[in-house]
Amino acid sequence: MKKIFILVLILISIPLVAFGVTKSQDTVFVAADETIDENLFAYGSTVTVDGTVNGDLIAIAQTVRVSGHVAGDILVLASDVTLNGTVGGSVRALGQSIDIGGMVARNVSVAGNNIMIASNADIGWSMTSAASATDIQGTVHGNVLGYGGNMTVTGTILGNATLTTDAVSVITLQPTAAIEGDLTYTAEKEIITRKGAEVLGATTHHLPTKNIKDVKALMSSFGFMVKLLSWFGLLFVGVLLVSLFPSQLIAIGEDARRRPWHTIAYGLLAILLTPIVAILLFLSIVGIPTGFILITLYFVVMYGSRIVTGAMLGNFIIAKFRKTEGLPLWSMLLGTTLIVLASLLPYIGWIFSISSVLFGVGALVIKIRFHRAEVRPVLKIE
């Protein structure tokens, strides 16, 4: 579990305050004849890199495809990830489906539902993965550390393999599989070794332990993964909001920051009174549709409130260090990440979590209230 935690820390190590080129639109495309001589941050619905990036690539999108060359590291948050190009550094990716079919000079750290290391893939150093299904068909020159569900090895691992599966999953070594180091696996079921598969080192099978300590550790790990996925979901929604309302998102938080206690008070009143109003609407037949709409908006605002607070906090921090306001995206990423990390602190984390929600809801209420006052028509008497 410590290895997963290290993987998570690697995945969140985003240079939030300073970066190179930023591209943001529905479809981001780097053509085959295009060269970017610095770091690239790209976010949108689809990110495609067919050209050359002489730096690091950070991509947040629904779909990310890289068939060109990235001289530095790649860090990806997306639903579908396909990497068929060459990478001079390491790859760190989180997604629903991750397919790596190119050459990676250093490490690969991935987490998702389905992970495929294609037959033409070549990983120069080690690989760490956490997934429901993992298929290694290519070559890994270092060690492999895998967690999750079904795991299949068809290719070559030049180092050691340490694999851990759940109770219903199985590890399979196909006929062309070759592990030159030791194989250590923890699973309920025996490994399936097809004829022709080779393990040159020692093979060690550990059964999962089921004492109270391990159950507590499992529950702790499960809770941590839920919080991790919640954080990535929050960032994804934040990216969408920044794409749609970049200046408005910052403005909402800045207006509220000038009157923090009023903002928190408005947030508390809105959180307490909205369910009461919704219940009253449900009690009247004609008010039921309005009640459903109100309660839906209530949960949407509660969820997005931390993004509003995060954008304000990030903008404030960046302005302090750089003497200028930060880009809306960087402000949101930095502030939201800090709020989530603060909420994980023992004993006092709940204070940060509740405060961020109260402030965010209050900021939205203040914005709506004053916006209505600004647009209210004035009757002139001549």
Total residue count of the chain as it appears in this document: 382
CA atoms of 311 and 294, how far apart (whole Å): 25
What share of the chain has pLDDT > 90, as a percent?
40
Can you spell out the DSSP letters for 237-276?
A: HHHHHHHH-HHHHHHHHHHHHTSHHHHHHHHHHHHHHHHH
Which residues in the chain land under pLDDT 70?
1-25, 210-229, 321-326, 370-382
Q: What is the pLDDT of residue 212?
A: 45
Residue 227's pLDDT is what?
66
- CA dist 191 and 332 (Å) reads 45
Q: Which of 338, 343, 344 is nearest to 311 (CA)?
A: 338
Condensed to tens digits (0 to 9), the pLDDT of residues 23-49 reads 656 788 999 999 999 989 887 789 999
pLDDT score recorded for residue 214: 53
pLDDT at 342: 84
Q: Which residues contact 185 (CB under 8 A, 6 or more apart)?
A: 161, 162, 163, 164, 165, 171, 191, 204, 205, 206
Q: Where are the domains of the chain?
A: 213-375
Q: Who contacts 277 (Cβ-Cβ below 8 Å, separation ≥6)?
A: 294
Residues paired with 82 in a beta bridge:
65, 99
pTM of the model: 0.65
Residue 110's contacts (CB-CB under 8 Å, 6 or more residues apart) are 91, 92, 93, 94, 98, 100, 127, 128, 129, 130, 131
Q: Which of 60, 17, 4, 70 is nearest to 320 (CA)?
A: 17
